[in-house]
Amino acid sequence: MVSLLLYMAILAPGISGNDGQSTVLKPTSPTIHNHESVFTVPPDADIGMNILPNINDPEAVDPQKVCPGYIALGVKSTTTGLTANLALAGPACNVYGNDIDYLTLVVGFQADDRINIQIQPRYLGRENETWFVLPEALVPRPDDSSRVTESSHPLEVSWSNEPSFSFTVTRKETKNVLFTTKGSVLVYEDQFIEFVSSLPDNYNLYGLGEVMHGFRLGNNLTRTLYAADVGDVIDANIYGNHPIYLDTRYFTNEKGGLVYAANATDKTAKYVSYTHGVFLRNVHAQEIILQPSSITWRTLGGSIDLYFYNGPSAEGITKSYQRSAVGLPAMQQYWTLGFHQCRWGYENWTVLNDVVDNFAKFEIPLETIWTDIDYMKGYRDFENDPERFSYEEGARFLSKIHGNNQHYVPIVDSAIYAPNPEDAADAYPSFDRGVEANAFVMNPDGSPYIGAVWPGYTVFPDWVGAVLNGSGAIDWWADEFIRWSKKIAFDGIWIDMSEVASFCVGSCGSGNLTLNPVHPPFQLPGEPGNLVLIYPENFNKTNATEAASAASALAAQTQTATTGVTSTTTAYYRTTPTPGARNINWPPYAINNYHGDLGVHALSPNATHHGGAVEYDFHNLFGHQILNATYQALLKVFSGKRPFIIGRSTFAGSGKWAGHWGGDNESLWVFMFLSIPQALSFSIFGIPMFGVDTCGFGGNSNYELCSRWMQLSAFFPFYRNHNSIGSISQEPYLWDSVITATKKAMHIRFLLLPYMYTLFALANKDGSTVMRALSWEFPNEPWLANADRQFLLGGAVMVTPCLVQGASTVDGVFPGVGNGTVWYDWYNSTAVTGVQPGQNITIDAPLGHIPVYLRGGNVIPVQEPAMTTADSRNNPWGLLVVLDKGGAAAGILYLDDGESLTPNATTWVNFSATIGSLTARPHGNYMDKNPLAYATVLGLSHAPSKILLNGEVLDASLWKYSKEKNLLSLGGLNTRFSKGAWSSSWNLSWE
Ligand SMILES: *[C@@H]1O[C@H](CO)[C@@H](O)[C@H](O)[C@H]1NC(C)=O
Ligand SMILES: *[C@@H]1O[C@H](CO)[C@@H](O)[C@H](O)[C@H]1NC(C)=O
């Protein structure tokens, strides 16, 4: 990751925070130059205490060695669970907080695939309850109304007091221990909880995000969960927090029993897999330490509220997790599946208009144009810059693009500018109304907490106070959106900086508002001397001089940054527990936070919410609750329509309100690869509307990377090209090869839109996933446990992208072939043959070609592409009938108006093909008038003598059969379906 680190160094020349690195420095927009004459927040304002993370601290005490654990007393078994009291088993260790003497344990068999193990303090004083018990108003508990008896449950929970309290979760069928704290002590303090489970050799864990990492987490990784404004640094704690993992275990069937297969590589053996899921309902800062044979879970507060999902399929767990715990993902409007173009640095409406025109000129579909913070007046939410982004010109531009069925999405930041009280011209009514509504987070003394973000010194909306205490942030936020929507006809909202980021430690703006607006405490790319020099790996620039000068500048900058690091003092700030009190700013246990001190580049842990709750206890929820507030706001702005929101910081459950983009990646090949594991992880998290900054955000892209990436992202639900101002432009029309590659991939995407939309409808209905890992769909192939360079869209479409610079082939597997799965090449409709299970096949992938395969057994409805999704929705239909080995296939299609929250008409169409026949059965009242134009049957091994539609023989001119390809093609069907392809049931048969 040398290049990444170099890039980080370049972004932050001369800044040496306590970790020697900076972060997410978004490149400047031209207006930032206004700041040059103004006060700059001093760089040291964002430096906190020099903290050494516990996991790197040779002096750190291991709680397992010093803590006494607990003893269970008064254990009561009921038919649906058990309860017990736990008492500290010896003198308190007070290792990273104050031990809680007495706890209660509640084990509940809550549903037939789920159990809950809850441990919390026995005596909860009301005032301190939220330290321990996460309010359901903020994060609901799963429904437990359908309790089942322990005897009928697939999982079993046992406990022991030898040598101290431990619990064990076992799967009855396999007698496999899923989770056991045996051999470890339970540590339960006011600022530190630790429990440890052993895990089998070579375990396969997935989830525990948000992290830039391969899909399988490996057996040696510390995952820190603490929302941070950190630009996609590999393995660091970044924007979102999802304390859930899936654990997949492979077994062989031997001597009548299942034997755990730790190194399941024998491709001739028969394997079965069982997956279970573990969710910790806890919002505190956490650290999860994966070691070769154990998982150690640490949290800096809250309670143990663990949910075990039986599975045994990954799909079963993600469905159940979403249905029971976090909520089903929001249904998206149809248009949101179109292509989105964005960049930081679109400096005015004219530039935006040119970009839109260029897409039309090059005939590349464009659905939505976005603006980053360039449009804002002094970076203030809800105010457009009157010169560059006036409401009048905006109204004309938006009316034009809306007339083309195109859309517009602006960014909205999380912090609110606090205007200069001595400058009447600096008045900011949104701020005044927020103050009036008690909408902002406070200091412990009740004064406003004032940090610093893009506009200068800012305040922060208090979502926690609004939910728990009824203060005004959510209503105020909605009102601001309603007011602004009357001036600017946006179609969706992009929420940024929601970790929540602040560029200084503490309330640095208190007493300083008369300096506002102020410049951030670091130099921005685009400002003099701050060049963006990164090019994709192995990039060979034809202009050698530029490359050479880039290299020497890079070396110089790296030098500076390195010097900064070595000069850092090694006097670390450590704290020890104070009896009876918490140290919330500097907790005794130091997590491996990317920014070090918890208060760096974020709201301080002691920032105070209305009602008295402190940020320490709710930090990981800011990004989640701003999505809730924005969802409520957009419901008011667009009455009856599905809100379209893309957010940066997320928590378990954010998918019910919003989608997510992968954050500030770089124009590097490694980030294109990482987009796949990141997307698959967000499938687990219940946030299917996911995509990354295509062609890369930071650094300069090039035609090869951008061509590959535009093709790859065409198969991600959220498809957006986004870039930063310091970098060279990367709209897909800028390079010939990218134009061709983009059109080709977009053509496929548009054909598949009805399929993708149906996947979203299913996700919204029962929590099934949209992007899928190969191991989920083919659970009996252990060699797929690591597979994250290929993926499936739904169950029917497999994508095998080329992710390597300079390559013209890609190696890929064809899962399921050992069990008769047949794959068809999208481009030539022929079956892939001669492949062994797990075999890596070298596939041709010249630049401009992305290998895509269809899985036998599926009927896939397609619709003719157009320049926008709305126009495509008015085009004729087609059907791809992809037969399995036995000549059967099935599929489903969902239709509605594409935008209503509660559509008044919906239609589901079921397709089924058996030998010699295909039936479509619509049910529902949504009318789609487009005819069926064609149907293609792949994998038909004999030539039909005649073909009948609803029993009537079809003219031979309407179909042809290719023996060589086993392909039946029917065309010119439009007139037969003039009332619409799905207006009634029909049957197509061949003899
Ligand atoms: C509750 O918190 C206060 C500090 O706010 C502390 O003094 C007190 O000991 C706590 N009570 C319990 C039961 O933890
Ligand atoms: C575990 O990861 C750490 C940090 O990346 C590394 O230094 C160490 O060598 C790894 N240990 C093993 C056994 O791979």
CA 195 to ligand 1 centroid distance, Å: 24
Atom 8 in ligand 1: which residue has the minimum CA distance? 580
**CATH classification of 772-990 is 2.60.40.1180, yes or no?**
yes
- Inform me whether the pLDDT recorded for 737 exceeds 60: yes
Residue 496 among the catalytic residues: yes
Looking at residue 542, what is its pLDDT? 57
> Is 664 part of the annotated catalytic residue set?
yes
- What is the DSSP secondary structure assignment for residue 669, as one 8-state letter? H
Structure tokens at 236: 């660091």
Tell me the average pLDDT across 572-596. Answer: 96
- Ligand 1 centroid–CA 613 distance in Å is 13
| Residue 17: predicted pLDDT | 27
Atom of ligand 1 nearest to the CA of 123: 13
Nearest CA, atom 13, ligand 1: 125
Closest-lying ligand 1 atom to the alpha carbon of residue 127: 1
Q: Which residues have C-beta within 8 Å of that of residue 296, sequence separation ≥ 6?
A: 194, 195, 196, 288, 289
861, 894 contact by CB (below 8 A): no
- Counting Cα atoms < 13 Å in the Cβ hemisphere of 792 gives 21
- Which bound ligand lies closest to the C-alpha atom of 218? 2
Domain(s) of CATH 2.60.40.1180: residues in the chain: 772-990
Helix or strand run (H / E) with residue 351? helix 349-361
Dist CA 864 CA 813 (whole Å): 30
> What gap in Å lies between CA 932 and CA 919, rounded to an integer?
13
For residue 767, the model assigns a pLDDT of 97
* 204 CA to centre of ligand 2 in angstroms: 17
Round to whole Å and give the CA distance between 83 and 86: 10
**Ligand 1 binding pocket includes 583 (Cβ within 6 Å):** no
Looking at 479, 499, 693, 896, which residue is catalytic?
499
Phi, psi of 287 (to 5 degrees): -140, 130
Assess whether the C-beta atom of 128 lies below 6 angstroms from ligand 1: yes
Which ligand lies nearest the alpha carbon of 191? 1
Nearest CA to ligand 1 atom 14: 128
Could you write out the DSSP letters of every residue in 303-314? -EEEEEE--SSH
127 Cβ closer than 6 Å to some ligand 1 atom: yes
- 3-state SS assignment for residue 358: helix
Confidence at residue 431, expressed as pLDDT on a 0 to 100 scale: 98
Do 244 and 282 form a contact (C-beta atoms < 8 A)? Answer: no
Q: Roughly how many angstroms between the first and final C-alpha of the chain, as a whole number?
A: 60
Pick from 123, 128, 303 the residue to mutate for probing ligand 1's pocket: most ligand atoms within 8 Å of its CB.
Answer: 128
Report d(CA 10, CA 22) in Å as an integer.
10
How many Å separate Cα 976 from the centre of its chain? 44
Supply the mean pLDDT for the chain.
92
The answer to whether the CB of 529 is under 6 A from ligand 1 is: no
Query: In this predicted structure, what is the pLDDT of residue 126?
Result: 74
Q: Tokens 């457009």 label which residue?
A: 384
- With a 6 Å cutoff on the Cβ, whether 125 touches ligand 1 is yes
Q: What is the pLDDT of residue 541?
A: 63
What's the CA gap between 67 and 185, in Å, rounded?
7
What pLDDT score was predicted for residue 522?
86
Listed residue (662, 628, 780) closest to 230, CA to CA: 662
Residue 322 DSSP label: I
Record the tokens describing residue 631, joined without a space.
Answer: 């969802």
For residue 579, the ligand closest to its alpha carbon is 1
Rounded distance from Cα 580 to ligand 1 centre (Å): 6
What mean pLDDT is predicted for residues 500-510? 97
Residues, the chain: 991
Is residue 846 lining ligand 1, measured as CB closer than 6 Å?
A: no
Would you say the CB of residue 580 lies under 6 angstroms from ligand 1? Answer: yes
Chain CA centroid to CA 941, Å:
42
CA-to-CA dists, residue 824 to 97, 437, 775, 882, 884, angstroms: 59, 60, 19, 8, 10
Q: Which ligand is nearest to the CA of 580?
A: 1
Q: Specify the ligand 1 atom closest to the Cα of 125.
A: 13
Whether the per-residue pLDDT at 733 is higher than 90: the answer is: yes
Question: Which ligand gives the minimal distance to the CA of 55?
Answer: 2
Percent of the chain with pLDDT over 70: 93
Report, as an integer, the average pLDDT of 644-649.
98
Amino acid in the structure at residue 611: G
Q: Atom 10 in ligand 1: which residue has the minimum CA distance?
A: 128
- pLDDT (0 to 100) of residue 365: 98
Q: Quote the CA–CA distance of 115 and 307 in Å, as a whole number.
A: 6
What is the topology classification, in CATH, of domain 55-326? Immunoglobulin-like (2.60.40)
Pick the catalytic residue: 194, 383, 413, 496? 496
What confidence score (pLDDT) does residue 569 get? Answer: 55
| Pair type for strands 852-855 and 858-863 | unpaired
In this prediction, residue 128 carries a pLDDT of 77
Quick: pLDDT tens for 44-100. 999 999 999 999 999 999 999 999 999 999 999 988 899 999 999 999 999 999 999
CA angle, residues 432, 435, 437, in degrees to nearest 5: 110
- Name the residue with the closest Cα to ligand 1, atom 1: 128
Structure tokens at 265: 């590589």
Q: Which ligand is nearest to the CA of 292?
A: 2
Query: Using one digit for the tens of pLDDT, what is the confidence trace for 964-985?
Result: 999 999 999 999 999 999 999 9
Out of 374, 664, 704, 731, the active site residue is: 664
The rounded Å distance from CA 190 to ligand 1 centre is 10
Distance 538 CA to ligand 2 centre (A): 27
Residue nearest to atom 9 of ligand 1 (CA): 580
Query: What's the token pair of residue 972?
Result: 């010119």
Ligand 1 near 161 CB (within 6 A): no
Inter-residue contact 740 to 848 (CB < 8 Å): yes
| Ligand 1 atom index nearest CA of 98 | 14
Q: Is 991 exposed, middle or buried (0-12, 13-18, 19+ CB in 10 A)?
A: exposed
Q: How far is the CA of 189 from the centre of ligand 1 (A)?
A: 13
811 is catalytic: no
pLDDT in tens, 429-473: 999 999 999 999 999 999 999 999 999 999 999 999 999 999 999
Going from the Cα of 52 to the center of ligand 2, the distance in angstroms, rounded, reads 18
Ligand 1 centre distance from Cα of residue 581 (Å)? 7
Residue 508: exposure state from Cβ atoms within 10 A (0-12, 13-18, ≥19): buried
Distance between CA atoms of 417 and 382, rounded to whole angstroms? 11
pLDDT at residue 880 tops 90: yes
How far does residue 128's CA lie from ligand 1's centre (Å)? 6
Contact 677, 769 (CB under 8 A): no
Residue indicated by tokens 């503490």: 506
Three-state SS across 708-759?
HHHHHHCCCCCEEECCCCCCCCCCCCCCHHHHHHHHHHHHHHHHHHHHHHHH
Residue 356 has pLDDT above 50, yes or no: yes
CA dist 654 and 645 (Å) reads 10
Nearest CA to ligand 1 atom 2: 128
At residue 257 the predicted structure's pLDDT band, cuts being 50, 70 and 90, is: confident
| pLDDT on residue 534 | 84
Backbone angles phi, psi at 372, to 5 degrees: -85, -160
Query: To test the ligand 1 pocket, which listed residue (101, 120, 122, 127) has its Cβ within 8 A of the most ligand atoms?
Result: 127
The SS3 call for residue 785 is coil
